[in-house]
């Protein structure tokens, strides 16, 4: 139990902000820090999994590229046949593109923004070709990086695919597919409400609140042996059955990870395949990806659909480019075009405006676990804490993938120096 408490405290600290100063991107580079480099690594340069400290900055910067070294995982098999290879056509001048940070004064260059945001990897496609590709810190071209909540977008897209295929009815409720959810808040929530996260759940994801339900969810999914005194749920699905309702479904956007895990459960129940298996079969292999990705799993082997995916940056870009091309990629229709049309049509803006994001992400919406900016280019994105993103700008014919390891799990601190930067680069590419 002490181990678990210590882990929770460490995670709590890592998610809290005390206004402290962090080492900058260069000083916190895992290679500069010397994490796990010698044989054996010195004690103070050993990244430790057991106590949870592996996920606290600056060790976090090492760990995001090596999640499997700390957690049980299951693979998302890449293509075993012909792989897709991007054409490369580097475009000069991107580094010196300038933009004005949100709520900021003065200008910043694109290159400056990469360091500011603790970027580990940045890849930009323009018209399907790689025009910009950079690797920093611990990320290697052949390696993988934690996608964090970008994972949700894969689960959501699979859900939308099953609706398009007629396997799921978006108007039916969760309990009609997974009867075990009957007594929970999800029982009478529709597939659509779950995919768009407009469910009314008594569930706080406020990492700064030690009583937030997120901690019980995390404990349930922790694959470490449970202490004898532990009385909670022992896997993700057990936990999901205990979630209580708060308010009504369908009225307000509430960004809560467990929606994705419920969606993962529903998808697995109706297809008979785990999320890693289905993602591999339906998307990862058809794309012609090169590197096996993987999901973190709980003690029952259940993948953490809401945040446990790690993948290669170019493979991520293949997914983004397929979405930009209405589901067509690698000489085949990977997903029905109607799925992408539905994503791009966006979610309920009114429901989004009522949420805590209504102020900072004005006019946005959320659909099939994608964030829709409704900006002048019609950009939409997958987003994950510490700065992960797949950002698709249809008008500029641009797909951008960023992996990052920002010291805090707060995209609100990263957006000001990234969203306007993406838009500025998009406009720059349109001018070329």
**Interface residues with a second copy (CB under 8 A)?**
2-3, 36, 39-41, 46-51, 66, 68-75, 77, 80, 141-142, 223-226, 228, 235, 237-238, 265, 268-269, 272, 274, 290-292, 294, 297, 299-302
For residues 72 and 336, which CB has a smaller minimum distance to a second copy in the complex?
72
Compare residues 193 and 292 and give the one whose CB is closer to a second copy.
292
Tell the smallest beta-carbon distance from residue 2 to a second copy (Å). Answer: 8
Q: Which is nearer to a second copy, 168 or 414 (CB)?
A: 168
- Shortest distance (Å) from residue 253 CB to a second copy: 27
Smallest distance from the beta carbon of 302 to a second copy, in angstroms? 6
Compare residues 295 and 371 and give the one whose CB is closer to a second copy.
Answer: 295
Residues for the chain: how many in total? 432
CA–CA dist 138, 135 (Å, integer): 8
Shortest reach from residue 48's CB to a second copy, in Å? 7
Determine the Cα–Cα distance for residues 158 and 123; give it in Å rounded to an integer. Answer: 24
Which helix (H) or strand (E) segment holds residue 392: the answer is strand 388-393
Minimum gap (Å) between residue 52 Cβ and a second copy: 10
Residue closer to a second copy (CB basis): 75 or 209: 75
Round to whole Å and give the CA distance between 377 and 374: 8
* Burial class of 223 by CB neighbour count within 10 A (0 to 12, 13 to 18, 19+): middle
Please say which residue, 46 or 375, places its beta carbon nearer to a second copy.
46
Angstrom distance (rounded) from CA 129 to CA 281: 25
| Residue environment code for 50-71, b if the CB has 16+ CB neighbours within 10 A, otherwise e | eebbbbbbbbbbbbbbbbeebb
Contact 252, 354 (CB under 8 A): yes
What's the CA gap between 281 and 76, in Å, rounded? 9
Count of beta carbons in the 10 Å neighbourhood of residue 188: 16
Are residues 62 and 36 in contact, defined by beta-carbon separation less than 8 angstroms?
A: yes
Beta carbon of residue 43, minimum distance to a second copy (angstroms, whole number): 9
Nearer to a second copy, 5 or 102 (CB): 5
Residue 180 or 251 having the CB closest to a second copy: 180
Which residue's CB is nearer to a second copy, number 48 or number 412? Answer: 48
Closest approach, Cβ 75 to a second copy, in A, equals 7
Name which of 33 and 372 has its Cβ closer to a second copy.
33
Residue 426: φ, ψ to 5°: -60, -45
H helical segments located in 66-200: 110-116, 150-164, 191-195
**Would you say 86 and 317 are in contact if contact means Cβ atoms under 8 Å apart?**
yes
Least CB distance to a second copy at residue 107 (A): 39
Rounded to the nearest whole angstrom, what is the least distance from the CB of residue 227 to a second copy in the complex?
9
Give me the DSSP letters along 95-121: GG-EE--TT--S-EEHHHHHHHTTEEE
Helices and strands, number each (H, E), in the chain? 16, 15
Residue 296 CB, shortest distance to a second copy, in Å, is: 10
Query: How would you classify residue 242: left for phi > 0, otherwise alpha for psi between -120 and 50, otherwise beta?
Result: alpha
């Amino acid at each position: 139990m002490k181990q678990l408490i210590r882990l929770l405290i460490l995670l709590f600290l890592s998610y809290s902000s005390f206004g402290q100063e962090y080492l900058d991107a260069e000083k916190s580079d895992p290679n500069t820090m010397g994490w796990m480099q010698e044989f054996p690594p010195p004690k103070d340069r050993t990244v430790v999994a057991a106590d949870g400290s592996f996920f606290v900055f600056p060790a976090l910067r090492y760990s995001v590229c090596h999640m499997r070294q700390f957690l049980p995982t299951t693979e998302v098999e890449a293509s075993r046949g012909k792989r897709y290879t991007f054409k490369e056509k580097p475009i000069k001048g991107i580094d010196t593109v300038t933009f004005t940070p949100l709520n900021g004064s003065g200008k910043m260059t694109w290159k400056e923004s990469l360091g500011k945001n603790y970027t580990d990897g940045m890849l930009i496609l323009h018209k399907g070709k790689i025009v910009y590709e950079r690797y920093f810190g611990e990320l290697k071209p052949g390696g993988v990086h934690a996608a964090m909540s970008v994972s949700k977008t894969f689960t959501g897209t699979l859900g939308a695919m099953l609706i398009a295929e007629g396997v799921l009815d978006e108007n039916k409720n969760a309990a009609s597919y997974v009867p075990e959810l009957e007594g929970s808040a999800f029982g009478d929530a529709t597939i659509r409400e779950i995919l768009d996260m407009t469910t009314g759940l008594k569930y706080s994801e406020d990492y700064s609140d030690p009583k937030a339900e997120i901690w019980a969810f995390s404990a349930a999914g922790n694959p470490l042996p449970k202490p004898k005194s532990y009385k909670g749920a022992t896997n993700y699905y057990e936990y999901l059955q205990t979630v209580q309702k708060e308010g009504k479904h369908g009225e307000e956007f509430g960004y809560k990870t467990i929606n994705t895990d419920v969606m993962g459960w529903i998808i697995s129940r109706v297809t008979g395949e785990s999320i890693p298996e289905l993602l591999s079969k339906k998307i990862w292999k058809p794309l012609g990806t090169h590197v096996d990705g993987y999901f973190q799993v709980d003690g029952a082997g259940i993948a953490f659909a809401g945040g446990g995916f790690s993948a290669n940056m170019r493979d991520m870009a293949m997914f983004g480019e397929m979405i930009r091309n209405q589901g067509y990629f690698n000489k085949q229709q990977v997903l029905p075009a109607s799925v992408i049309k539905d994503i791009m049509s966006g979610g309920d803006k009114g429901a989004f405006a009522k949420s805590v994001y209504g102020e900072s992400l004005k006019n946005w919406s959320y659909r099939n676990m994608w964030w829709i900016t409704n900006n002048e280019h019609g950009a939409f994105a997958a987003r994950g804490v510490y700065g992960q993103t797949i950002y698709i700008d249809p008008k500029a014919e641009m797909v951008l993938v960023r992996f990052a390891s920002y010291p805090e799990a707060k995209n609100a601190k990263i957006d000001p120096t990234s969203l306007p930067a993406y838009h500025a680069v998009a406009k720059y590419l349109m001018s070329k």
